Amino acid sequence: MTRITSMTELRQSMILFFRVIVCAAFLLMMAELLSSCEHKDLCYDHPHRQNVEVMFDWSADPDANPATMSLYLYPEEGGDPIRYEFTDKNGGNISVAAGTYRAICVNSDKETHRILGKDHFETFQVTSAETRALQGLLATMAGAAPMGRGTEKERMMQQPEMLWSSHADRIVVKPAGEKTVIKMKPEPRVKQCTVEIKNVENISGVKAMSASVSGMTGGWLAGLDQLSDEKVTMPFVAEADAANKMVKGSLTLFGHCPVQPNKHILMVYAQLTDGTNWYYEKDVTDQVHDKNQKDDTHIKIELEQLPLPKPAPGTDGGLEGRADIQPCRIGRLTGNAEELAVNEGPPHQFRAAGDDDLAGGIENQHRPHTGHGIDNAGQAATTQSDAVRHVEPAWCNITHGGQCIAG
């Protein structure tokens, strides 16, 4: 009995021994593993992003107050630009992958601005939307308005709203542990232009006016800090100041002539109280390019005399007083390709064609005009078609003897 008990104890001792050996081996293995491990934070975003502070320095224009600013970062190795929006004009914090970038900043709070070529740093351009050739009360007649000679292919561009921009050729976003600050210094990129015409004849007979200047620049290349090479015509509202016998207007623009001198034509459009439409064409290139302009951010165009003709007698704000008189209308008969033939020379008016007149032709009526180079009205021979429904308004050229042209 004693012998059996001893064998049992020996077997249990051996089992216990092996268990101790296994546990010791396991503990040694775990200790080895633990001693060779280095704790690292889990990385869910690659490449690693850094918190970057962006600061906009407004020392170039302390009064600037854009509602929003945009920052575009262009990776050095290529790829799409990354855009960040700021509702604080002074900047803020952003998350950026470590690396090297080029940067452009512009204000992004203007509805008229259009961004072109933003995929590439060198082609990033701020421009403005297209618009009608005439502004204000004459806007509905824009399709018939003549353009300055030599400017027919220029785009009609809306005046740009205020633009501030800046660029940086190299920005390094540092790795973790090093603070990165991006500082940009936006500068104003829009100029002012004012137009004044003094000693305007018969200004009290003006009902509405508009004007435009050609040969201006169509945009700003923000990555290069230079004007684009597109030439545009810029319309603006002109106001008749009867008390001072002046016509005044102003507009905003990016600038002019980035490569070589352009020609600049001022067009002034006027509708008189009798409904007749007139335009005045003047080359103002010398004034736009005048090196004596004191402020290169403010272009002044100043002219003397605008020989507007007198409205027809009996008209005081429209055609109500002369139901038999139509505005100077020629050309383009709707529904028929036939055109009214008008002699060269001073403009004419044509009596409104009533139902009885359609069979017998339009009776030609003319009136004398006063003003520079506008003395006597000639005769206009006309033919009439039964298909006449509407005649486009004509514009009569003050500059060249009062000749009327079709719209």
pLDDT tens-digit readout, 240-278: 999 999 999 999 999 998 667 789 999 999 999 988 999
What residue type is 290 in one-letter code?
D
Q: What is the pLDDT of residue 255?
A: 93
Q: What is the pLDDT of residue 376?
A: 29
- pTM score, two decimals? 0.69
Count of other CB atoms within 10 angstroms of residue 370: 12
Q: What distance in Å separates the CA atoms of residue 362 and residue 385, rounded to the nearest whole number?
A: 10
Q: Which residues of 41-70 are buried (b: 16+ CB within 10 A; e: fewer)?
A: eeeeeeeeebebebebebeeeeeeebeebb
Q: What distance in Å separates the CA atoms of residue 382 and residue 380, rounded to the nearest whole number?
A: 6
Type and span of the H or E element at 258? none
Domain 49-306 in CATH 2.60.40.2100? The answer is yes
Q: What distance in Å separates the CA atoms of residue 325 and residue 322, rounded to the nearest whole number?
A: 5
Name beta bridge partners: 181.
Answer: 53
Residues of the chain with pLDDT under 70: 1-10, 30-47, 258-259, 294, 314-395, 398-407
The size of the chain, in residues, is 407
Distance of CA 151 to the CA centre of its chain: 19
Q: What is the pLDDT of residue 109?
A: 96
pLDDT 10s digits, 100-109 = 999 999 999 9
Domain(s) labelled CATH 2.60.40.2100 in the chain stretch across: 49-306
Pull the structure tokens for residue 175.
């790795």
Q: What is the pLDDT of residue 32?
A: 64
Q: What is the pLDDT of residue 399?
A: 61
Q: Which residues of 313-351 are buried (b: 16+ CB within 10 A; e: fewer)?
A: eebeeebeebeebbbbbbbbbeeeeeebebeebbbbbbe
Q: In what order do the strands lie in the sheet with 180-184?
A: 91-97, 49-56, 180-184
Pull the structure tokens for residue 277.
């439409």
